[in-house]
Amino acid sequence: MYCSFSESAQTIDFILQTCILLVVIVHHLFNTRPTFSASLHMHFLMAVFFAHMCFVIDAFLSEDEILAPNSDDDNSDCITMSLFLHYFILAQFMWIAIQAVNLWKIFVLNDEHTDRHLIIFFIIGWGVPVILVAIFYAVTFNIYKYHTDLDVQFIYGDVNNNREICFITNEYAALAGILAPILACLFVLAVMCMMAYQVASQWQMYDDVYRGRSNEKELPLLLVIYGILTLLSVFLALHMIYGYLWMLIVFCIFDTIFGLLNFMQYAVVRNPLFASIFGPKRALYSVSSEATAYPDHQLSYYTSPASIKGSEANLLNDTWESNTDGGRSRMTVRRALPSQAYINPPIAVISPAGTISSDSPDFDDLIFALKMGSAGIHSVSPSEISGASRSESMSMHEDEISQLSVVLDHYETKRIDIADTHL
């Protein structure tokens, strides 16, 4: 038995629209420095808002105002309403694909300046759906007129001939005009996810999606939002076709979850007014380091990871690292935040023998000079240490450690402005 779109279902959809509108208002009023990804997400939410607004208007007015009373009457109102609904349905998924491309450029290509593509993204997000709808209508019009006996006035019309909703009447036209573009957008999203998670270590601890929130948590949240939107769209389409009550109930459940999830996450939890409750805690920076002595071994140098407590992005304090790979010491530079990087003082540690390759003195001297050049103390390079006798080197080690201990007393974590951190 067919179940129509009741007033309760329309009310639930109106609640979703209200939640989305509040999210966009809060974003523009209180987020003074939003990330570009967050701004793109607002475009996506506005496309969802207009799509559901068109759906509610269509369902509420179809019986008395939009649908033509019979096949001989003018059906222009239904065509106009359906064109808007068709456009915004495609637009919301187009913005999903755009966000996927933007995150792919950030996560995989390490492009932190994707905001320069704003005009291109804007044109694609709001312009490509217009082109798709125009192509769909032109092709369907010609097929109806020259290859079938169907009336071109009813490309959009009464879906189930029960005067409940006005939209695409032919199932094959719906597959080509709605399902194919949506699947293409979701395919773009799937490809982005596969490529991004292959290099997850290079972006998980940064805040490119939402400022002050790690990408490791923000990307799964976006995927959940996209998944809920896809499911509610599926059950909405199934109810429009078959009209079962359980399909309408499932649609209303996902509709409510989508609205409340976006409202809680983007209007409450990430609202700067509630940062003291939900946001990262602020505290003073502190540096902790330990030096472990290994007697009768060579001297190597590394930069100890500072214990930075209480910053807005305490998970984002990746700094200089020294790794050992195949017996060779190598130093890597990780991407820091666009505005600042935290650099810690060098620490002297006696490391086990064999950690410094004896066949690469030039490389070790270079790393040693880079790390110890700002200390302002006289030091000995690893190659010189390797050539000295054991007793002399140990004496030099003790002098070096004592000098470093004096220097470290005056060290503190410093913040340095960096113009471009892609090294």
Averaged over 159-166, what is the pLDDT? Answer: 80
Entry pTM: 0.67
Q: Between 395 and 309, name the one with better pLDDT.
A: 395
Whether 56 and 99 have beta carbons less than 8 Å apart is answered as no
CB 192 within 8 A of CB 219: no
Is 92:51 a contact under the CB 8 Å cutoff?
A: yes
Q: Is the dihedral of CA 16, 225, 54, 235 positive or negative?
A: negative
The angle at the Cα of 44, spanning 41 to 50, to the nearest 5 degrees, equals 145
Supply 152's token pair: 């071109």
| Residues 58/66, Cβ–Cβ less than 8 Å | yes
Q: Are 313 and 337 in contact (CB under 8 A)?
A: yes
pLDDT given for residue 220 in this prediction: 94
Mean pLDDT, the chain, whole residue set = 75
- Residue 422, SS3? coil
Q: Is the pLDDT of residue 423 over 80?
A: no
Quote the pLDDT of residue 59.
85
Mean pLDDT calculated for residue range 40-60:
93
Q: Is the dihedral of CA 391, 392, 397, 403 positive or negative?
A: positive
User: Which segment of 179-193, 261-275, 315-329 scores lowest on mean pLDDT?
Assistant: 315-329
pLDDT at 214 exceeding the cut of 60 = yes
Question: What's the DSSP call for residue 374?
Answer: T
**How many Cβ atoms sit within 10 Å of the Cβ of residue 365?**
14
**DSSP secondary structure string, 149-202?**
---GGGSEEESSSSSS-EEE--HHHHIIIIIHHHHHHHHHHHHHHHHHHHTGGG
Percent of the chain with pLDDT over 70: 63
For the cut 50, the answer to whether the pLDDT of residue 330 exceeds it is: no
Say which residues have a Cβ less than 8 Å from residue 20's Cβ, sequence separation at least 6: 45, 46, 48, 49, 259, 262, 263
In 216-364, where do the E strands start and end?
A: 299-303, 321-325, 328-332, 341-343, 346-350
Here the tokens at position 145 are 């007129």
In which band, very low, low, confident or very high, does the pLDDT at 17 lie, cut at 50, 70 and 90? very high
Which of 150-154, 316-320, 407-411 is predicted with the least confidence, judged by mean pLDDT? 316-320
Which of 18-22, 137-141, 346-350 has the lowest average pLDDT?
A: 346-350
* Section 320-336 average pLDDT: 43
CA nearest 383: which of 393, 374, 375, 371? Answer: 393
Give pLDDT, residue 400.
60
Residue 151, pLDDT > 50, answer yes
| 111 CB-side CA count, 13 A | 14
- Span 223-248, mean pLDDT? 91
> What type of residue sits at position 351?
S
Closest CA to 258 of 235, 281, 237: 235
CB 118 within 8 A of CB 36: yes
Residue 225, pLDDT > 60, answer: yes
Looking up tokens 């190597």 gives 300
d(CA 346, CA 119): 45
Which is more confident, 372 or 54? 54
Q: How many CA atoms lie within 13 A of 276 on its CB side?
A: 1
The label of the residue with tokens 């329309």 reads: 10
Can you say whether the dihedral through the CA atoms of 255, 13, 38, 133 is positive or negative?
positive
* Largest separation between any pair of C-alpha atoms in the chain: 107
Non-local CB neighbours of 293 within 8 Å, separated by 6+ positions: 349, 350
Say what the pLDDT of residue 368 is. Answer: 65
Q: What is the pLDDT of residue 305?
A: 39
Grade residue 163 by pLDDT with cuts at 50, 70 and 90. confident
- The backbone torsions φ and ψ at residue 242, rounded to the nearest 5 degrees and listed phi first, read -100, -35
Overall CATH class of domain 7-278: mainly alpha
The residue extents of the domains of the chain are 7-278, 299-416
Distance CA 235, CA 242 (A): 10
Q: How confident is the model at residue 319 (pLDDT cuts 50, 70, 90)?
A: very low
* Burial (CB count within 10 angstroms: exposed 0-12, middle 13-18, buried 19+), residue 224: middle
Higher pLDDT, 47 or 370: 47
